[in-house]
Structure 1
Amino acid sequence: MIIGVPREIKIGETRVSMTPSLCRRVTALGGKVLLEKGAGLTAGFTDDEYKAAGATFAPTAAKVWKTADMILKVKEPLEAEYDLMQQGQTIFTYLHLAAGPTLAKELCRKSILGIAYETVEGGDGQFPLLKPMSQIAGRLSIQIGAYFLQSQLGGSGVLLGGIPGTMPGHVVVVGAGNSGAHAVQMAAGMGARVTVLDLDTRKLEVLDTEYRGRIVTLMSNPANIEHAVADADLLIGAVLIPAAKAPIVVSGKMVAQMRPGSVICDIAIDQGGCIETIKPTSHTKPTYKEHGVIHYAVPNMPALVGRTSTMGLTQATEPFVAMMVQKGVERALSEHKGLAKGVNTRNGRITYDAVAKAVGFDS
C-alpha cells in the first residue's frame, strides 16, 4: 500500500498527517510513504527526518494524489484539491461533511472511500481521533478569548482572572464534552468565574465534583442559556453531535444582549457552529463584530499549535493506519467495527446516516 501525504493547504494550517515516527511504523509494516516535499516543515519535521524513516518524496501534491492508494490528511479536501482526487481512492482525514455538502457530492461523484477521523469509534463508544483536537481547541479557546478581550483589539478590557478587589471575568461554556471540559479547566485555572451548561447531568456532576464548587453548572435550557450569555465576557460554543450539523443553542437575540467588546469563540464551527451569529473565519482574518461582540470561528484552530496538534493527532491515528497497512483497508474495516464507523462515503453514496441527513442526501 502506498500512503500519500500531501501538504495541507487550508489557510494557516500547520499540521501534518504523518510524523517521522508514524512513517517509520508504516514502512516497517511493509507500506510505502509518498510525501510531498516540505509537508512537515510547519510542524517542525524536516524532509531528512522523513527520509531516515523510509519515506520517498514527490515534488507536487498532484503526484502524491495520483500515485497513492490512500491519502492521509488532516483537513478535508478543499476545492483546489477536488480535481486531484482519484476515482475510487481512499481518503482518511477529518471530513466534517455535515457542514460541507459540496465536498460530500464530490466524494460521491468520484466513488471515494471517505473515512472520517471524527466518526471513528473506540471500543468504549467514544471518538478517539476527535478527542485530542477537541481538547486542544477547548484549551485554546480560553487563551484566544483572553487575547481578544484586550482593549487594544476592540475587546471590553476584562482580565479573566481579575486582581484582588476586582471582579474576575465571566466565562460561559455551552457544552461539557471534551472541548467544553478543557475550556472549563483553562478558564478555572486562570481564575475566571466559570459557568458551564449541558443537557447531560452526568457530565455536570463530574465537573462539579472535580472543581468542588469553584464553577457553576447549569442544565442547558433556553432560560439558563439566555441568563448566562447576557453576563458573559467570554462565550464558548462547544456543542457537538458527532457527524451531524451542530444545533443552534445561542440565538442572535441572546448575543445582542451581551456587553459590547465581549468575545465569542465557537469550537463547533467545523460542524456549522452552535451560535446563530457565527460564520467561519480564518487565521488571516480570525474575527468580526456583530452586535458589538467579537466573534472568533476558525475551523482549524489547533493549527495555532501545529507541533502539539500533530503529535496528538498522529498518536491517535497510528493504530488505525497501521491496521490498514498490515491487513489492507477492506479487511481492517470488516474486522474493526469502530474503524468501519468512520466510513462516511463509499461507492458513490453517503453511508453515515447523520451526515446524509445533514446534507440532504439519501444514505
Structure 2
Amino acid sequence: MLIGVPKEIKNNEYRVGLTPSSVAELIHNGHAVLVQTSAGLGSGLADEEYVAAGATIAGTASEIFERAEMIVKVKEPLAPERKMLRPGQILFTYLHLAPDLAQTKDLIASHATCIAYETVTSPYGGLPLLTPMSEVAGRLAPQAGAHCLEKGAGGRGVLLGGVPGVPAGEVIILGGGVSGTQAAIIALGMGANVTVVDRNPEALRRLALQFGTGVRTIFSTRSAVAEIVKRADLLIGAVLVPGAAAPKLVTRAMVATMKPGAVIVDIAIDQGGCCETSRPTTHSDPTYVVDGIVHYCVTNMPGAVARTSTFALNNATLPFVLALADKGLRAAVAADSHLRAGLNVYAGHVTCKPVAEAHGLEWVSAETALNMPPAVN
C-alpha cells in the first residue's frame, strides 16, 4: 500500500503523522511511503531522516492526496484538504466530528473511508489512540493555566503554588479520566490545592487511592459544580464522552460567579467544550475573556510540544497503521472490532452513532456499511 503523510496546516500544528522509525517499519513490511517536504520539521525530523528510512519526499500535499491509498495525519483535515480526498481513500487521523457539521458533511460527500483515532477502542477498555494526547493535554493544562493566571496575561495574579504565608491557588478539575488525572499530577506537583469532580464512583476511588488526601474528590452534580467553580482560580475542563459532543457542565451563569481574573482551560474543546462560554482558539491567539474570566480553549494543545506528542502518538498508532496497510481496510476492520470502532464515515455513510446523533444524521452501523458495495477510486 502507498501511505501518504501530508504536512499539517492547522494553526501552529507542528506534529506529524509518521516518524522516520514508523516509516521504516512500513517499508520493512513491503509498503511505500510518500512524505510531504518539511512535514516533520516542527517535530525536529528532517526530510533526510525520512529518505534514510525509505520514504519518498513529495513537494505538495496535492501530490500526496492524489497518489496515496491511505492518508495518515494528526489533526482533522481542513477544508482545502477535504476537497482533495477521493472515494475509497483511507483517512486515518483525529476527526472530532461531533461538534463539526461542516467537516462531517464534507467527509460524507468525499466517499472516503474516515477512521478517527479518538474512537478506536482497546480490549482493556479506554481509547488507546486518544490516551497519549490526553496525557499531554492534561499535563499542559496546569502549565497553560498558570501562565494565564499571571497579571500580564489577564489573570488574577495568583501563583498556583503560593509561598510561605500566602495560600496556594485552587485548581478545580472537571473529569477524572486520563487528562484529568494527568492535570491533577502536575497541579499537585506545582503546589496547588487540587479538587477533582467526577460522577463515576470508581474514578473517584481510583483517584483517592492514587493521591490519598493530596487531592480532594467530589461527586459531580449540577449543584456541586455550581458551588465549586466559585472557588476556582484555575478551572480545567477534562470531560469526555467518547465520540460525542462534550456535555456543557459549566453554564454561563456559573462562569459569572467565578472570581474575577480566574482562568478556564477547556481540554474538551475538541469535542465542543464543557463550558457554555467556550469557543475554539489557536496557539497564536489562545485566550479571550468572558465576564472577567480568561478562557484558554486551544483545540490542539499537544501541538505546542510537538516532538514529545509526535513520538507518543506514533507509539500508539503504528500497530493500527500496519494492520490497515498489511491487511487492507476490510480485512483489518473485520479482524479487529476495536479498529472497527474507529470507523466514523464510510462510503458516504456516518458509521459512528454519537456523531450521527449530534448532527441529526442517519446512522449506519460499520458492519452494515462494510457490506455495501465499496466506493470506486
User: Partner of 1:216: helix, strand, or coil?
Assistant: strand
State yes or no: 1:336 paired with 2:348. no
User: Partner of 1:269: helix, strand, or coil?
Assistant: helix
Amino acid at match of 1:158: V
Give me the whole-angstrom Cα distance separating, in 2, the residues matched to 1:334 and 1:197. Answer: 38
The equivalent of 1:245 in structure 2 is 245
Mapping 1:133-148, distance limit 5 Å: 133-148=133-148
The equivalent of 2:157 in structure 1 is 157
Give me the whole-angstrom Cα distance separating, in 2, the residues matched to 1:276 and 1:260. Answer: 18
The equivalent of 2:89 in structure 1 is 89
1:125 Cα offset (Å)? 2.6
Q: Deviations over 1:103-144 (max 9, x none)?
A: 111111111110000011111131100000001001100000
Give me the whole-angstrom Cα distance separating, in 1, the residues matched to 2:331 and 2:87. Answer: 20
Give me the whole-angstrom Cα distance separating, in 1, the residues matched to 2:269 and 2:353. Answer: 20
Q: Size of the alignment, in residue pairs? A: 363
Amino acid at match of 2:109: R
Amino acid at match of 2:323: M
Give me the whole-angstrom Cα distance separating, in 2, the residues matched to 1:229 and 1:207. Answer: 20
Contact 1:30 1:325 in 2 (8 A): no
1:75 Cα offset (Å)? 0.4
**Superposition TM-score, scaled by structure 2 size:** 0.95
State yes or no: 1:73 paired with 2:73. yes
Amino acid at match of 1:311: F
Give me the whole-angstrom Cα distance separating, in 1, the residues matched to 2:324 and 2:272. Answer: 31
The equivalent of 1:198 in structure 2 is 198
The equivalent of 1:226 in structure 2 is 226
Q: Deviations over 1:155-206 (max 9, x none)?
A: 1010000011111000000000101110111111111001110000111111
Give me the whole-angstrom Cα distance separating, in 2, the residues matched to 1:57 and 1:359. Answer: 38
Amino acid at match of 1:131: T
Amino acid at match of 1:113: T
- Greater than 4 Å deviation, 4+ residue runs: none
Amino acid at match of 1:295: H
User: Partner of 1:30: helix, strand, or coil?
Assistant: coil
1:361 Cα offset (Å)? 0.6
User: Partner of 2:325: helix, strand, or coil?
Assistant: helix
Q: Taking every aligned residue pair, what percent have the same amino acid on both sides?
A: 48
The equivalent of 2:361 in structure 1 is 361
Q: Deviations over 1:78-104 (max 9, x none)?
A: 012122111221100001010111111
The equivalent of 1:130 in structure 2 is 130
User: Partner of 1:188: helix, strand, or coil?
Assistant: helix
Contact 2:83 2:110 in 1 (8 A): no
1:212 Cα offset (Å)? 1.4
Amino acid at match of 2:5: V
The equivalent of 2:371 in structure 1 is none
RMSD: 0.7
Contact 2:82 2:110 in 1 (8 A): no
1:328 Cα offset (Å)? 1.6
1:359 Cα offset (Å)? 1.6
The equivalent of 1:181 in structure 2 is 181
Give me the whole-angstrom Cα distance separating, in 2, the residues matched to 1:99 and 1:30. Answer: 38
Mapping 1:105-116, distance limit 5 Å: 105-116=105-116
Amino acid at match of 2:89: Q
1:211 Cα offset (Å)? 1.4
User: Partner of 1:264: helix, strand, or coil?
Assistant: strand
User: Partner of 1:265: helix, strand, or coil?
Assistant: strand
Give me the whole-angstrom Cα distance separating, in 2, the residues matched to 1:192 and 1:151. Answer: 18
**Superposition TM-score, scaled by structure 1 size:** 0.99
Amino acid at match of 1:349: H
Contact 1:97 1:359 in 2 (8 A): no
Amino acid at match of 1:43: S
Contact 1:268 1:274 in 2 (8 A): yes
Contact 2:4 2:69 in 1 (8 A): yes
1:227 Cα offset (Å)? 1.3
1:215 Cα offset (Å)? 1.3
State yes or no: 1:170 paired with 2:170. yes
The equivalent of 2:372 in structure 1 is none
Tell which deviates more after alignment, 210-219 or 43-52. Answer: 210-219
Amino acid at match of 1:66: E
Contact 2:87 2:347 in 1 (8 A): no
Give me the whole-angstrom Cα distance separating, in 2, the residues matched to 1:212 and 1:304. Answer: 31
Give me the whole-angstrom Cα distance separating, in 1, the residues matched to 2:138 and 2:212. Answer: 21
Give me the whole-angstrom Cα distance separating, in 2, the residues matched to 1:257 and 1:88. Answer: 51
Give me the whole-angstrom Cα distance separating, in 1, the residues matched to 2:200 and 2:143. Answer: 26
Amino acid at match of 1:97: L
User: Partner of 2:14: helix, strand, or coil?
Assistant: coil
The equivalent of 1:23 in structure 2 is 23
Give me the whole-angstrom Cα distance separating, in 1, the residues matched to 2:153 and 2:191. Answer: 22
